[in-house]
Every structure is written in C-alpha cells, then in structure tokens.
Structure 1
Amino acid sequence: MNTSQERDSFQDAFIKNFICVALGIIINHINGVFVYTFCKNAVFYSNSRYILYIHLVTNDMIMLSVTVGLHVVSYAVPFMQVSLCCFLLLLGNMTAKNAPLNLAGMAIERYIAVCKPLHHPQICTVKRTYILICLIWMASTIPALADVFIIIAIKPLSFFNSNTLCILWDIFGTQQHRDRATVVEIIFMLFVWLTLFYTYFMILHIAKNASTDQASAKKAQNTILLHGAQLLFSMLSYIAPFIDMYLVPLFPKSRSNILFTTFLLSHILPRLLSPLIYGIRDQQFVKYIKSYFSYKYEHSSSVKPY
C-alpha cells in the first residue's frame, strides 16, 4: 500500500487511485467470469481440479478487493479504527498465504492424476477437496490469530478503539510479530517449493515411462512449471519491502512513484495470472465461456427495438 499520500498532489493521487481501481475492476471482472462459469455448469462441481482452481480465483478476488480498498482508503481516510484495520489487514494477509498453499494443493492433485491415475478418483474426491480448502484457511488463520493475541498481550484493549494509519507494520510491527512472520513465511515457502519440485520431478520421471499418457504428463509438467512461475510472482509481495528500502534512498524524490510501482507489481498484477495461466489454457472452461458469451450476443441481437 502506498503510504506516502501526503507527498502526492491531488492529480497524482487521483491518477494512482484510478489506475488501482480500474485494474481491480478489470481483473475481478475477468476472474468473476470464471467463477460465474463454474457456478453455472455442474460439470465442474465433481472435479477437484476445478474446485481448487475456482477457490484460487475467489481468493485472489478477495485479496484484490481488500488491497485496492485499503489503498484508496489510505488516501481518502488515512486514519482508521484499529479493530477494523486489523480485520482488513489480516484478511488480506490470510488470502496472500492461501494462494501459494492452494498452488501446492493443485500441484499434488496433478501429481496424483498422472502418477496414480487409478487411485485419483478415490483420493481426490469432492469432500476431500473441500477439507483441503478448509485446512488451507486454517493454516492461514492461525498466524493471523497469533498476531492478534500478541497485540492483546502487549497493548491495552483500548488500543483497538483508537485510530491509526492502516499500515501492516504500524499495527503488527513489534519484534514478536516480525519473528513470527519470518518463521511462518519460511515454513510456508519451503513447504510449497518442496511440493512443487517433488511433484514436477516425479511427473517428469513417470513421463519417461512408455506406458504413461505422454500428452497428459507433459501438460501436467507445464502446469506445475506455471505454478512455480505464479509462485514467484506471488513472492513479489515478500520482497517488495526490500526493493522499496533499496530504491527509495537512491531516488528519494521518486519515493511515491517507487512505492506505487512496487505496489502494482506485487499486489495487483499477479492477481491476473490465475485466469491467464489456467482458465485460458483449459479447453473445457474456454468452451463454456465461449458458449456463454455467444448466447448473450445472440440474445442481445435478437432483441429488436420498437
């Protein structure tokens, strides 16, 4: 979030917020098309891959809405009640953690589909998929609750009724919070990267077997590689503060523009990757989306004005 709104002119602030809101609406609209397509076609309901994918898209929509909302609010109403700020920051933080964990789950599903195809229907059931989604949310909720408990332990309850700048490290900036964040991020990233590497190389090994469906194995390999690419983009949110710390002292007059650029690259644009990487590559999704838009076009064309 750009926290330097006091240095921006009205024109600069308007342009930056307009860009954020416009990108947010466009990306959420694109993601919304996939969510709508999923909800309107029961054929997707029984497939664990599509359930995990649509959870990833929905998670991105929530994260994007919260992030853009906080960015706009930081300009319009910079001081916010701590309790509301905590809720929004933690929700954004939880969804940020959900994304890589969801990618790991999708990689495991592809590994089972290729390496254990006979067991895939028994392992990757709809019920177990929703249990996995619940576990993902649980894994991201526990660190968030830990942050709240740390605040309760070191600050009076009246702190939650006070007003403050809604900035993550202003609220959760104690050494305990930083230590907790470092440990959790390392554990999460190690788990996700090890999962991606393991599933990729196992699929690569299985693909060398002549009895394996080569096309399916190759597609699964490419999918997991794309998981890795998306994870790299997701990690921009972790390295963005370090980029800011390095560039801002070098170009102090461009501080606001640097913060805004890293904000776009780390929090906004990566949310566009899910529909581009998975949705457009999936022939079944594309087929239903085309039929939906074709129906709308034909329906609108058939309506004649009086």
Structure 2
Amino acid sequence: MNSTTSQFLVRDTFTAAFVKNFIVVLLLLVLNYINGSLVATFLRNQVFYEDPRYILFIHMVINDAIQLTVTITLFVLSYIFYAINVSFCCFFILVAVFTTRNTPVNLAGMAIERYIAICDPLRHAQICTIRRTYILIGLIWFVTVVPDITDLFVTLAREPVSFFHTAVFCIRSNIFKDPVLLYKRQAFDGLYFSLVFFTLVFTYLSILCAARAMSTDIRSAQRARNTILLHGVQLLMCMLSYISPSMDLIMIRIFPSQILEIRYANYLIVYIFPRFLSPIIYGIRDKKFRRYLKRYFVCKQCSSEVQHEEGEDKMV
C-alpha cells in the first residue's frame, strides 16, 4: 500500500469517526432537550406531584437521560482515546448497566399502576399512594443495582491492584472478565425479562377484559390498554440489550471487516432509539402533560387556555 492510499484511509477513518460521534452527540442533545422539557414541566406543576404514574414516568425520563449521557460519553471517549483507564471505565460501565436495567423494571411498575387504576379504581388511591410510589422507586434501584454491583466486588477480589491502573477498550467483558459473572448475568437477564414480560402481558390482558366488561369509561380503558401495549414495544426494544452481544458476535463473523459499523448500528438501535419512545408515550401522547408542556415550551400565551382545561379528564 503506497503512502497516498494510506493517508486516504486514515483520513476516511477519521471522517467516519467524526460523523458517527457527531450523530450520537446530536441525538443526545435533542433527546436530553426533550427530557429536560418534560422534567421542567413536571417540576413547575404541583398537580403532577400527586399522581403516581407521572412520578414513575419522570423517574424513567431522568434515568434514561443519565443512561444516554453516560453511554454516549463512553462511546465518544472510546472513539477518541480507544483505551481508557480501568477504574474510570468501571464507573461508567456500572452506571450504564444500572440505568439500562432500570427502564424495563420501571415499565413494569407503570403497567401495574395502570392495571390498578382500571381494574380496581375504587382502591387505586388507597394502594397507589405517593409514599408507596417512592418506595417502589427505591425497590427498583435495589433490584437493579444489587445483582450487578457484585461484579465489582468479585473483580476487586480476583484482579491485582495494578489492573485498575491499566487502560483497556471500555466494554463490560474487558473489565468483569470472570466467566462466572457471564453466567450470572445471563441468569439475571432471563429472570428480569421473564418477570417484566409476564407483568406486561398480564396487565394488558386484564385491562383488555376490563374494557370489554365496562359499560362506562370504555375510552379510558382503551387508552390504558394502548399505553401498556406501547410499553410492551418499548420493553422489547430495551430487551435487545440482552441479546445484542450475541448478535454482535454473529454479525462480526459474517462481516469481519465491518466491526465498527456493526457496533455503531447496534448502539443506535438498542440504546438510543428506545429512549425516544418515553417522551412520546407520556410527554406528547398524554393530553394533560401535553397541555402543560405546550404552556411552557411552545406557546406561553395559551396559559389561560391551559387553566381552563385543567378540569378535563386526564388521558390514560
């Protein structure tokens, strides 16, 4: 290969890396602007503080914003520096894992809240209190953090101190290398997927039956059913993260010269696109939230109209 060709390939690689980083950073800015708008709308209106479903929703929005910020930062740093300090990488990996696991479990909690609201409306206010909602959020973090924090303890026990001062390409398998951790991870992935999947199926079918049996408020039940169906779509997209490592290996074996492109496409499909559904489901699709969102971020002059509409029934 002559020097001209070599320089062209280097320049082409740099250009491709720049374009990829620009795209993911642009997507991060757009999504975080949307998420920031939703959080600001929630914080500025006390009416949302007393509704468990909006508390769970805004928790998921904040969680997704953290997850995207961490993973995209790691993505860009890996392109710029390639090898990253193990201690630094370990922190980023754990935060990304915790927040990634949080989303499907939070979706299950939101589906259960909608199930109670439709199938047992007389006891909804008694069961779904604000205090219990925050306890549920704490429980969500507990069940998502505890299984994976053990990876850190095992690595600390088995790896020498010098390992944490070295630099590696920052992926989970390069940090938590013990084979036992891989089997444990697969077992918990299967457990999480099964529990969340059956929770969504159960709540969806229960609300579907309730909608058929209701002589009144059928529209509300149908909207709740559609919301949980969207949760199911979002869950399936989030669950792609559980099979993406295997899919990566298969695709890389088929197209060994396209490793970076495969990982880039996988990152967009598995980690970024599912996070665009959350603002759509509750931020744009929900009438109540949309009115307040429009009030602060689209047309502030319609504040009187918003106040007039506050008495309307809220969308499920």
Judged with a 3 Å threshold, the aligned counterparts in structure 2 of structure 1 residues 156 and 216 are, in CA distance, closer, same or farther, namely same
Contact 2:283-2:289 at 8 Å conserved across structures? yes
Contact 1:248-1:258 at 8 Å conserved across structures? yes
Does structure 1 residue 254 correspond to structure 2 residue 258? yes
Shift of 1:294: 4.5
Shift of 1:254: 2.4
Q: Which residue of 2 aligns with 1:304?
A: none
Q: Which residue of 1 aligns with 2:155?
A: 151
Judged with a 3 Å threshold, the aligned counterparts in structure 2 of structure 1 residues 7 and 136 are, in CA distance, closer, same or farther, namely farther
Post-superposition Cα deviations, 1:88-107, rounded to whole Å, max 9, x if no partner, equal 10000000100000000000
Separation of aligned partners in 2, 1:7 and 1:147: 39
- What SS does the corresponding residue of 1:173 show, helix, strand or coil? coil
Shift of 1:158: 3.3
Does structure 1 residue 15 correspond to structure 2 residue 19? yes
The correspondence of residues 1-306 of structure 1 with structure 2, limited to 5 A, is 9-211=13-215, 213-294=217-298
Q: Which piece of structure 1 moves more, 144-153 or 60-69?
A: 144-153
Q: Which runs of 5+ in 1 are unaligned?
A: 1-5, 299-306
Contact 2:283-2:293 at 8 Å conserved across structures? no
TM-score of the aligned structures, taking structure 1 as reference length: 0.91
- What SS does the corresponding residue of 2:168 show, helix, strand or coil? strand
Separation of aligned partners in 2, 1:295 and 1:212: 35
Q: Which residue of 2 aligns with 1:3?
A: none
Runs of 4+ in 1 over 3 A off after TM superposition: 294-298
Which amino acid in 2 is paired with 1:156? P
Separation of aligned partners in 1, 2:24 and 2:263: 13
Q: Which residue of 2 aligns with 1:302?
A: none
Contact 2:118-2:207 at 8 Å conserved across structures? yes
Shift of 1:176: 1.2
Which amino acid in 1 is paired with 2:264? F
TM-score of the aligned structures, taking structure 2 as reference length: 0.88
Contact 1:38-1:44 at 8 Å conserved across structures? yes
Q: Which has the higher contact order (CA 8 A, sep 6+)?
A: 1
Separation of aligned partners in 2, 1:165 and 1:8: 22
Shift of 1:211: 4.1
- What SS does the corresponding residue of 2:84 show, helix, strand or coil? strand
Shift of 1:8: 6.9
Separation of aligned partners in 1, 2:158 and 2:85: 18
Q: What is the count of residue pairs matched by the alignment? A: 293
Contact 1:150-1:176 at 8 Å conserved across structures? no
How well do the aligned residues superpose, as a CA RMSD in angstroms? 1.8
